[in-house]
Structure 1
């Protein structure tokens, strides 16, 4: 599903897969997180199994990483 969404990031700045970051944000919002700080807190506090399911095997993305990505996404196709 996320394979068709163009990645607005520069190649140099890609440390996490786009689908993993968007999936993380989606799960956090479905869990009730609204502000970016709550989404980042969800990411930091999520169980290792959640990280594995989302393909986040490295360190957890911080709020600035998530904020930059979400700000660059174009909601209109």
Structure 2
């Protein structure tokens, strides 16, 4: 519910927000763009153009988009490789 409330406020007010989270699902469901950072010293590792909430008008509906899982898996792989568990 909080995600939906925040998205509604942002749409109504036409504001830009930087959301810092460790929750991959939240980032994908709420964001137009997800930036994956590297280990310290932090640099931008990869930028994902997501925009599912904007396309569907809802973070909840964004989670049902087939691309949601594709973004999640790709971001998880970027982070997993970064901590030394991936290929």
TM-score (norm. length: structure 2): 0.28
The structure that has the greater radius of gyration is 2
RCO comparison, higher one (Cα < 8 Å, 6+)? 1
Structure ranking higher in helix proportion: 1
Structure ranking higher in strand proportion: 2
